[in-house]
Amino acid sequence: MIPSFKPRIQRIIWICAGVLCLAATSHADPLTQSFLDGIRYYQEGNFEQAVAEFEKVTDAGVQNGRLYYNLGNAYLRSNQLGRAILWYERALELIPEDPDLKFNHAYALSRTKDERPDRGPSLIRILFFWKFLLNPTLIRRIALAMNLIFWSAVLVRLIRGKKVLKTSIYLLLFIALIFTGTAAYNYYEDTYIREGIILPEQVSVRSGLTEGATELFVLHAGTKIRVEKEKDGFVRIYFSEGKIGWIQKGQVGII
């Protein structure tokens, strides 16, 4: 009698725990519920609904790279390449080193139609290679670390004597200045240089602020452009050297 009693007790405990978990899930806050619903819809193949649920979370002001990644996936599955790349780009600003994100972003880029402007080895890219090689978060961290090490060395020198760590301090100062300057420029870029993604399947870039203006060239969904100015419901975009024009504001998603 006693031996059969223990497993039964254990089973009851497990069932109670499961019920409690279910109850906890069913009474989750609305954002959590939307997030979980988004995942469920995605896994069921209802990608449009998954997009709607994930966007409820982003609309509530949540800024998270993993959430943006999920949203990018849902858009990609629902064949909205432009919006998928837009959300991947937004995610890259938050979790630039995430391998899944980099993989899916590369896959989405492979499906775009417009050839990216030539980004071959220019003098700027060679001279400031670290700016293009390292992501802004890493540059920021290196700048702070080098700054800390530099001032620590200066402090040691102050306490221990003037002849200590002389060469090392100059070297540390140089590196700290380089990375601090790069981080400052990255902040400037984030603040003043707006980039966007073409959202519709195909967009005519025109010479003026009307639909009747001359079509200069055509861009396709997912193409990254720079937004230079905004006027009367149109934005002036820069694609590459010499390829500038106007498109409707709603046709571009700001990263």
Binding residues for other proteins, rule: CB under 8 A, are 31-32, 35, 39, 42-43, 57, 61-67, 69-70, 73, 76-77, 93-94, 100, 103-104, 107-108, 110, 136-137, 140, 143-144, 147-148, 150-152, 154-155, 158-159, 180, 183, 187, 191
Output 74 or 235, the one with its CB closest to other proteins.
Answer: 74
Output 13 or 36, the one with its CB closest to other proteins.
Answer: 36
Element (H, E) at 48: helix 47-59
Contact status, residue 227 vs residue 118, Cβ threshold 8 Å: no
Least distance to other proteins, CB of residue 44, Å: 12
Least distance to other proteins, CB of residue 74, Å: 8
Could you tell me which of 88, 93, 94 has the C-alpha nearest to residue 70?
Answer: 88
Element (H, E) at 116: none
253 vs 17: CA distance, rounded Å: 45
Output 4 or 110, the one with its CB closest to other proteins.
Answer: 110
Could you tell me which of 15, 6, 68 has the C-alpha nearest to residue 197?
Answer: 68
Output 76 or 235, the one with its CB closest to other proteins.
Answer: 76
Least distance to other proteins, CB of residue 252, Å: 22
96 vs 165: CA distance, rounded Å: 36
Residue 140 — φ and ψ, nearest 5°? -60, -45
What's the start-to-end Cα distance of the chain, in Å? 67
Output 138 or 209, the one with its CB closest to other proteins.
Answer: 138
Least distance to other proteins, CB of residue 78, Å: 12
Residue 199 — φ and ψ, nearest 5°? -95, -50
Output 62 or 213, the one with its CB closest to other proteins.
Answer: 62
| Residue 143, SS3 per DSSP | helix
Least distance to other proteins, CB of residue 34, Å: 9
Least distance to other proteins, CB of residue 77, Å: 8
Tokens of residue 249, six digits: 């504001």
Least distance to other proteins, CB of residue 10, Å: 28
25 vs 108: CA distance, rounded Å: 33
Output 84 or 197, the one with its CB closest to other proteins.
Answer: 84
Q: How does strand 194-198 pair with strand 252-254? A: antiparallel
| Residue 215, SS3 per DSSP | strand
